[in-house]
Chains A and B, each alone.
Chain A
Amino acid sequence: MRDSRGEKLFYFLNYVLLSFIAISCIFPLLNVVALSLSGAGAVASGRVTLWPIDFSFSSFKSLFTGTPIMRSFWNSVQITLIGTALSMLVTIMAAYPLSRKQFYSRRFFTMAMVFTMIFNGGLIPTYLVVQNLGLVNSYGALWLPGLVSTYNMLLMRSAFEQLPGEVEEAAKIDGCGETGILMRIVLPLSKPMLATLALFYGVGYWNSFMSVMIYINDTAKYNMTVLVQNMIKSTSMIQDFADPTMLASMTPEGIRSAAVIVMIVPILAVYPLLQKYFVKGVMLGSIKG
């Protein structure tokens, strides 16, 4: 079937608009890449836009030798991997029972969890709790208070609910217990959903900023977000420079850009790998039968 003129025009406009949006997302990123690969002089005079000028890796070199970026990179990796694993484990353990119709008063428990989405203790009380648990200055403070995201748990619960009951019945008839059903039937069938949620958790942990800043006192344990934020923001504190040599302790823009690149690359690298699950995750439950 051929598209009518109107449709062609519509597609054309759509593509123009979408390319425009895509470009406006990509340009700032390209700018940062260009800054990180340019010479210091070109960066300072603001001549760098989308293409590196005086191409050099010196910013990356100074970043890796001159700043604790590698230490914080490994901290981020550690926080993310362990945090995601723990969160997924506990979220599954919460979502599965709540998705079972025979679970006694599951409505009450679900609402009790939803309640925490609306009300919460606030920063200082939460801090006091974390402090009394002895978690301040350890990554436990990052993992434990936000171990289960209610929203993610609800997503997972509805995904589990949508699985056809017949499959489980069949499993039961074949002699599967509850654990067996979860491990052999429910989880394998929910892989797209699990991948999506793992990514949600992973990105969340990777980007965790406020919690690290508040709970972690030892700068050797800082993750990349806090380190990079510190590099970027502290250049804008005018009052600090009443002593005219203070500026020497500032991180130059090229190095800051390089740090941003190092920070976003791992997440960018993970997305394509999980892409296929995303598509499935969206399709999930759309066709019955």
Chain B
Amino acid sequence: MSMLSRLPKLLLISGLVGSMLAGCSNNNPAAGSENATDSGKRASISSTIYDRGAVPNGMGTIEDNMWTKWINENGPANVKFVAIPRWESQSKLNVLLASGSAPDLIFEFGTSIRNQLFDQKQLMPLDDLIEQHSVEYKALMEKYPQLKQAGIKSDGKLYEVGRMNEVYPLVSVFIREDWLQNLGLDVPTTEEEFLAVAKAFTEQDPDGNGVDDTYGVGGFEFGDNSGLFRYIFNANWVNLDENGEIQVGPERLKKEAEFKRALFEAGVVDKDFLSDKDGSKSKQDFLNGKIGIYAFMTNDFLSFASRELDTLMKNVPESRLKVIPLPKTSAGQFNPVWNNPVQMTAVVNARAKEPEAIIKYIDFLVKPEIARTFRYGIEGEHYKLEEDGKPVILDQEKYKNEVSWASDFTMLYSRLEEGKYGYVENQFDEEVPAQKEALRLFRESIDAYMNDLPVGEGLTHSEHMPQLPKELQVKFSNVTAAVHDIYTRAIIGGSNYTVEQAALDAEKQWETGGGPEIISWYEEWWSKEKDNVLIWSDFYEIYQQQQAELKAD
């Protein structure tokens, strides 16, 4: 098996070979764009579809099932689907492209993967095609110019299409309100109060069981809670400074480390947080009612309701959660990261034969009444619309078996175009106790985090960050890892290693590890692209637009 077992290693090497091959085997993009499909014959195109191994037994395969048949019956073209294993999408796409057998329409969430395809000149520019052949997507781009802005690549042409998502916080910080009441404390609003409350939660037996078994905050190295302190201090490597200029480097990390060190030394966090490699210990502690402040990924409040929240409500019935704004700090006050509202999801293969049909197919998938199908199923069969337009699932079991796994067909579905029932707020079923509670927390989280404070995730959402050239990227990863280790040492180092010392070491590491090169690359990029890049303030505007529409509806 030496051949097969060596394949993963080969993959690395062949990345280079692949890009070389790809570069030369692809000389005239858009050559087939003259191919008219209006000759009466139905066009045939191909498209990728993620395979997550989730299609139930008896429902066929992800590339051949009731929904692909439905698309071929109702859509504008015959579509042949090629399954792409979700986790290995990059290597699968690489071989398909290099061997000339890649599908025409490529769906890919990974920004770096799409960027790589662009760098290899594998993609077809879409400006003219959309201008000439699109109705739906063109209208969406007019409504949300950001969609166009995000789809344009460095040569000024549009290559990517995507969807608009609702803006809401991806992370929420929960505090045990019942503990606050037990101890007669107020919600902490500053970093000092945060530390004091965490200390009280640790030492004053907030659950009243007479045992010293509680911690103030969850572990801060791994898992859901790990980003919390970064958001609190906006401790990021690539930032926007007060003058609207880009600032790159480890300077902002120091305050975060100081605070974490203070928390660590006060004993409010599990001393073994470093060995809790995926944060699961910390998460369990919270769900078993042993931690007072914990940040969860709440990108999906509905499954948060059915998993974590439901578990906590069962394990600790007296618990009551509250979402708190991030505390004010000496670095300012920030919001935790928000959802990316302008998400690019699809590109077109430069060698596609029938681009017009592809655009028609994109239009088809963008239409809310079509895209809705892959989310709710067929009207009358899987769901019904109530009088006010609320979709209601008729049979959960049937829905789960036939529809729930089809969501990867909705990668171009801008859900908010549904009107108010596309919004998260209206997804909850208040009959279910955990969901009712989750809705309350969701509203609190919107109140706490959707405002014009800066977002503590640096310049912009990671999906809108540019791709460093490979060599610089390696340096950057190395130096960020090294600096991270330096600060971790300072957090647990006691008197042997202070944060001051760590900041000096970090600065040195940055200087010698390629810092100046990386800074100048980002500065050059920013000076060229700053008007095109979507940043947090743009997302806040989108949020306001979305909310205004919700109110109007």
Contact = CB atoms under 8 A, between A and B. Distances in A.
Interface of A: 41, 44-47, 64-71, 117, 120, 122-128, 131, 136, 142, 145-146, 149-152, 200-201, 204-205, 208, 210-211, 213-214, 217-220, 222, 226-231, 233-234, 237-251
A204 B302 contact: no
Given A200-B1, A218-B61, A249-B407, A238 B297 contact: yes
Nearest to B95: A127
Interface residues of B, number: 77
Given A123-B13, A210-B4, A222-B53, 16 more contacts: A44-B307, A45-B315, A46-B280, A68-B56, A124-B95, A146-B1, A150-B2, A211-B4, A214-B91, A218-B61, A219-B51, A219-B63, A220-B61, A228-B53, A233-B87, A248-B303
B315 A67 contact: no
B109 interface: yes
Given A146-B1, A239-B109, A248 B7 contact: no
Interface in B16-72: 17-18, 21, 50-57, 61-64
A226 B89 CA distance: 12
6 contacts: A127-B99, A142-B4, A205-B1, A227-B53, A229-B85, A237-B86
Nearest to B52: A234
Contacts of A233: 86-87
A123 B61 contact: no
A230 B52 contact: yes
Contact of B88 (A66, A146, A213): A213
Nearest to A214: B95
Contact of A246 (B51, B95, B300, B314): B300
Nearest to A68: B57
A29 B52 CA distance: 24
B5 A204 contact: yes
Contacts of B94: 124
Given A41-B314, A219-B62, A233-B86, A149 B1 contact: yes
Interface of B: 1-8, 10-11, 13-14, 17-18, 21, 50-57, 61-64, 82-83, 85-88, 91-92, 94-95, 98-99, 101, 109-110, 165, 280, 283-284, 287-288, 297, 299-303, 307-308, 310-311, 314-315, 339-340, 343, 375, 400-401, 404-408, 410, 413, 415, 424, 427, 463
B14 A123 contact: yes
Contact of B53 (A122, A200, A230, A248): A230
A44 B308 CA distance: 7
B18 A124 contact: yes
Contact of A230 (B86, B375, B413): B86
A97 to B, nearest CB: 20
A230 B1 contact: no
A237 B54 CA distance: 15
A208 B339 CA distance: 37
B376 to A, nearest CB: 10
A218 B400 CA distance: 23
B83 A217 contact: yes
Given A131-B101, A219-B63, A234-B86, A249 B408 contact: yes
A124 B21 contact: yes
A104 B314 CA distance: 77
Contacts of B280: 46
B321 to A, nearest CB: 16
Nearest to A239: B109
A69 B55 CA distance: 10
Contacts of B1: 146, 149, 152, 200-201, 204-205, 208
A149 B3 contact: yes
Going nearest first, the 3 A-B pairs with the smallest beta carbon separation are A204-B1, A230-B53, A233-B87
Contacts of B283: 46
Contacts of B299: 238, 241-242, 244
Contact of B311 (A44, A123, A201, A229): A44
Given A248-B407, A249-B408, A213 B92 contact: yes
B407 A243 contact: yes
Given A67-B56, A239-B463, A124 B311 contact: no
Nearest to B299: A241
A216 B410 CA distance: 25
A48 to B, nearest CB: 10
A127 B52 contact: no
B86 A244 contact: no
A211 B53 contact: no
B53 A243 contact: no
Nearest to A236: B87
